[in-house]
C-alpha cells in the first residue's frame, strides 16, 4: 500500500514519540526557504562560479584567489546574516524543546538552527560556519561582522591583526580537511541514536552522506525528508518528497497532539 504524505507524517510522528534519541541531519534544502541559495542544485551558486577556483589549495597558494574568494564572500555574507529561521528550523527547535531531539548535525554554515533556538552545543556544524573568520596561521577566531566591515572598506584580502596571517571564513572549502572534532561528534551521534532524520539534503556529498547509513547499521530507524529523491531513499523506513517546512510543521503538530 502506498501511503500519502499525511499518512507518512503520522508515521514519522509516532516514530519520534517512540524514540529515545532522535538525531537530525540537515542540508541546504532546509535553508533555501529562508532565502539562502543552494550551492549544488541546478541554478545554484556552483552553476555560476567554478568551485575548483575556490579550492583550499588555491586559496593557500594564490593571493589572487584569496581576493576573488573574499569578494564573493563579501557579497554572499549579507544574505546569510540577514536570513531568518523558517518553519522547518522552528519545528526542529520545538522538537528539541519538547525533549525529543538530541542534536542536529548540519551541512549548513548559516547558523539558522541556533537562531531558531537550538543551543550551540546541540548543533554540530560539520562544514563550519560563515559567522566566524579564522586565521590559518595562528588560529585566532574573529566574529565575521568585524572582518566584514574591514572587507567592505576595501581590505581585500584581510589579514590577521594578531600575526598578519591569512584569514578565511570558518567554513570548509573544497579540498580542506573536515573538522575532526565535529566529525567525531557527528559519527557518535549517528551511531548512538534510534531515529535518524535527514532533512533537506540529497545525500551525495561525503562524509555527511555516510551518516544515515551508519545510523541504520547501528539499528536506528531512518526518515528522509527532501524535495527530490536522494541517494539513500532505498535504505529509509519513511521517505517524504516535499518541502521541509511543510513536512516538519505537520509532524510537529502531530507530535504535540499525541503527547497530550
pLDDT of residue 37: 80
For residues 5 and 240, the answer to whether their CB atoms sit within 8 Å is: yes
Per-residue pLDDT at 75: 86
Residue owning grid cell 573538522: 179
- Helix pair 5-18, 244-259: axis angle to 10 deg: 50
pLDDT of residue 44: 46
What pLDDT is attached to residue 1?
39
Q: Which of 259, 249, 252, 258 is nearest to 101 (CA)?
A: 252
The cell for 102 is: 538530541
The pLDDT score that the predictor gives to residue 179 is 94
Per-domain residue ranges for the chain?
1-35+84-127+178-260, 37-82+128-171
pTM of the full predicted structure?
Answer: 0.92
Q: Which residues of the chain have pLDDT under 70?
A: 1-6, 38-52
Residue 35 grid cell: 532565502
| Cα-based angle 41, 62, 175 (whole degrees, multiple of 5) | 45
Q: What are the φ/ψ torsions at residue 134 (nearest 5 degrees)? A: -125, 145
Q: What is the pLDDT of residue 2?
A: 45
Architecture in CATH of 1-35+84-127+178-260? 3-Layer(aba) Sandwich (3.40)
Distance CA 86, CA 125 (A): 18
The SS3 assignment for 154 reads coil
Instruction: Report the b/e string of 1-26 with b at 16+ CB within 10 A.
Output: eeeeeeebbebbbebbeebeebbbbb
Considering the segment(s) 37-82+128-171 as one domain, its CATH architecture is 2-Layer Sandwich (3.30)
Please give the positions annotated as active site.
127
Amino acid at each position: 500500500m502506498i501511503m500519502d504524505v499525511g499518512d507518512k507524517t503520522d508515521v514519522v510522528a509516532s516514530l519520534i514519540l517512540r524514540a529515545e534519541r532522535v538525531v537530525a541531519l540537515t542540508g541546504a534544502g532546509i535553508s533555501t526557504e529562508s532565502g539562502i541559495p543552494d550551492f549544488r542544485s541546478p541554478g545554484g551558486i556552483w552553476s555560476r562560479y567554478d568551485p575548483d577556483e575556490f579550492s583550499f589549495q588555491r586559496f593557500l597558494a594564490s593571493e589572487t584567489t584569496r581576493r576573488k574568494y573574499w569578494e564573493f564572500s563579501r557579497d554572499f555574507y549579507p544574505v546569510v546574516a540577514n536570513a531568518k529561521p523558517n518553519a522547518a528550523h522552528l519545528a526542529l527547535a520545538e522538537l528539541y524543546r519538547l525533549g525529543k531531539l538530541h542534536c542536529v548535525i548540519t551541512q549548513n554554515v548559516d547558523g539558522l538552527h541556533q537562531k531558531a533556538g537550538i543551543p550551540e552545543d546541540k548543533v554540530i556544524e560539520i562544514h563550519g560556519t560563515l559567522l566566524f573568520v579564522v586565521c590559518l596561521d595562528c588560529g585566532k577566531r574573529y566574529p565575521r561582522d568585524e572582518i566584514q566591515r574591514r572587507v567592505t572598506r576595501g581590505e581585500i584580502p584581510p589579514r590577521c591583526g594578531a600575526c598578519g596571517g591569512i584569514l578565511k571564513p570558518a567554513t570548509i572549502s573544497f579540498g580542506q580537511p573536515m573538522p575532526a572534532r565535529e566529525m567525531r561528534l557527528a559519527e557518535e551521534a549517528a551511531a548512538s541514536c534510534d531515529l535518524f532524520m535527514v532533512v533537506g539534503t540529497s545525500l551525495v556529498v561525503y562524509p555527511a552522506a555516510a551518516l544515515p547509513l551508519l545510523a541504520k547499521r547501528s539499528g536506528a530507524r531512518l526518515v528522509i525528508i527532501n524535495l527530490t529523491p536522494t541517494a539513500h531513499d532505498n535504505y529509509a523506513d519513511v521517505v517524504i518528497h516535499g518541502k521541509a517546512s511543510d513536512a516538519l510543521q505537520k509532524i510537529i503538530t502531530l507530535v504535540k497532539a499525541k503527547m497530550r
